[in-house]
Amino acid sequence: MKKGKVYLIGAGPGDIGLLTIKGMKCLQKAETVIYDFHINAQILNYINHEAEFIYAGKRGGHHEMTQDETNRTLVEKAKEGKIVCRLKGGDPFVFGRGGEEAEILASEGLEFEIIPGVSSAVAAPAYAGIPLTHRDYSSSFAVITGNEQVSKPESMIDWSKYARGYDTLVFLMGIKNISSITSKLMENGRPAETPTAVIRWGTRPDQKTIVSTLHEIADKVTESKIRPPAVMVVGNTVLLRDKLKWYENKPLFGHRILITRQYNEEYEILERMGAEIFEFPTITTVPPGSYDDLDCAIEKVESYDWLVFTSANGFRTFMERLTEKERDIRDLKGIKICTIGSKTASAVRSYGMKVDIVPNEFNAEGLIDLFLKETGGDLKGIRILLPRAEVAREVFPQKVRELGGEIDTPASYRTSGPGSHSKRLERFLIEGKITIATFTSAATFNNLVDIIKGDVTDLLKDVTIAAIGPVTKKAVEKSGLTVHIMPEKATIKDMVEDLIANALKRGKND
């Protein structure tokens, strides 16, 4: 019988880049994932979607599952022989009840492993420009729970020692009790004028930092309507914030950008400039309903003059089927190749194949003009093979036929909408936490409309919308929304560049 194992994994404070490599590797082999509210939902995109996802909740005191239920589920799933990942915000052993969960597993004789995470105790102050130690200001710090009722007689907090014994104090989960906490510190000798900061949603686009004194910080929190989750830092290192704050100075800080396709390196610049990417692919690539037409084309592939690939997916799936039919690139000798976009061209060249033409205009009309130029304005007798998605525009094939050419358009793949983990996205849209939404095809938008239960038009009405080209723009505008960004060239690179320019322009205007 397969032996189960539980990994207690710290997901970090929010910025997905702070998830450890070891934590990511464990998640990728998980069969069951039990996760809390305060993790970055994007982490779920890196987990095998065949895994079982169990939401434990734990938001603002409301638990979807009690701790006993969570413990019982961990034990049950491990005893079923599954690889179980318990995904917790921050670090499992820093006020994360990871010790309790590990004790239960040990008592049941189950194998487990602890994968530490970056705690908000250090990450939130760091992203706010507040070091916990500094040679000139602090040589010690303490991390204290703020969730304990300070008035209870059996309190484990020795206020006199904390108030006077450490240079820097960090309180987690203390917003509800902030008045009591600050009062206790001052009663036990901490000066009322001690610099104090509160950081809400540290490491996220929503990060908000307020600075005051120990005496006045509770009132400032009330005035600023700061709610959990937040970290409080008490000590003289708070004075360094004005000089050291860096995250909030990034040009795209405060932006959470929705991408409705799979993430790739062309989006990285947005993160480097301070934005957070919310990856929600609304389409996945799957085999077509039938390979009959593609197989027929492959059998007579030598008869074609041109191969046209409009996407890297189209090329990849064509080559996979070519290989399955026990043929290879030698069978393509003498056939000219046209690709739409540099990414598609790179995919072709990675096979050691030459790309003959790449049109400057990435649309059907531009492709026709280029073919007319290549053939001297006459397509009669020209045979073209265009492996593509099962549902695609007919503009180019129709024009080829009108001009006397022959074209076959077998489906080499189809797209479908996964619709997984949509609740978090819908909540972010409702709460106005998505500032920019990007769409790279009409399908990415139309599938989003199908996936989200709420009225997408209403949810996106205040969001800046970027569409990669005129067909995508038309699909968005058909729903009554406004497209604010559409690049001249229909590439992700150009769309991202225009998006950055638009965001910076809006920032200056604001």
What pTM does this model have?
0.80
CATH number for the domain spanning 112: value is 3.40.1010.10
Shared-domain flag, residues 260 and 239: no
Looking at the structure, do residues 108 and 187 belong to the same domain, yes or no?
no
pLDDT of residue 62: 54
For residue 313, what pLDDT is reported?
85
347 and 444 assigned to the same domain: no
Please identify, among 224, 249, 274, the residue that sits at the C-terminal boundary of a domain: 249
pLDDT of residue 362: 59
444-464 confidence digits (pLDDT tens): 999 899 888 889 999 999 999
pLDDT of residue 10: 96
Q: What is the tally of structural domains in the chain?
A: 4
* Shared-domain flag, residues 300 and 407: yes
Catalytic residue IDs: 36, 58, 173
Which domain covers residue 305, as residue numbers?
286-415
pLDDT of residue 124: 98
Same domain, 377 and 394: yes
What CATH number should be reported for the domain holding residue 174? 3.30.950.10
Task: Please tell me the predicted confidence (pLDDT) of residue 454.
Answer: 82
Residues 315 and 366 in one domain: yes
Structure tokens at 328: 């290879």
Return the closest-CA partner of residue 291 out of 280, 283, 299, 302: 299
| Separation between Cα atoms, residue 450 and residue 434, nearest integer Å | 19
Cα 18 from chain centre: 13
Same domain, 290 and 399: yes
Q: What whole-number distance in Å separates Cα of residue 182 and Cα of residue 214?
A: 6
What pLDDT, on the 0 to 100 scale, is given for residue 63?
58
pLDDT in the model for residue 58: 61
Looking at the fold, whether 294 and 402 belong to one and the same domain comes out as yes
**Alpha-carbon span 123 to 421, nearest angstrom:** 26
Tokens standing for 235?
């000590």
CA distances from 138 to 129, 167, 224, 237, 370 (A): 15, 5, 28, 7, 68
pLDDT of residue 506: 81
- Exposure string for 288-315, b = 16+ CB within 10 A, e = fewer: beebeebeebbeebeebbbbbbbbbbbb
Give yes or no: residues 278 and 293 share one domain.
Answer: no
3-state secondary structure 74-116: HHHHHHCCCEEEEEECECCCCCCCHHHHHHHHHHCCCEEEEEC
Which residues lie across from 338 on neighbouring strands?
A: 308, 357
Do residue 421 and residue 274 come from a single domain?
A: yes
For 194-231, write each residue's pLDDT tens digit: 999 999 999 999 999 999 999 999 999 999 999 999 99
With a cut of 50, which residues of the chain have pLDDT below it?
none
Phi, then psi, of 168 in degrees rounded to 5: -125, 135
Q: Are residues 386 and 279 in the same domain?
A: no
> What is each CA distance from 450 to 116, 389, 417, 457, in whole angstroms?
38, 19, 8, 12
Residues 208 and 192: their CA atoms lie apart, in Å, by 23
Q: How far apart are CA 79 and CA 77, in angstroms?
A: 5
Rounded CA separation 91/69 (Å): 21
Count the residues in the chain: 510
Kindly state whether residues 293 and 403 are assigned to the same domain: yes
Token code pair at residue 320: 């996979």
Of 397, 415, 433, the last residue of a domain is 415
Q: Which residue shows structure tokens 């203390």?
A: 174
Residue where a domain stops, chosen among 415, 434, 452: 415
How high is the pLDDT of residue 350? 92
The per-residue pLDDT for 343 is: 80
**Whole-number Å distance between alpha carbons of 92 and 70:** 14
117 within 8 A of 19, measured Cβ to Cβ: yes
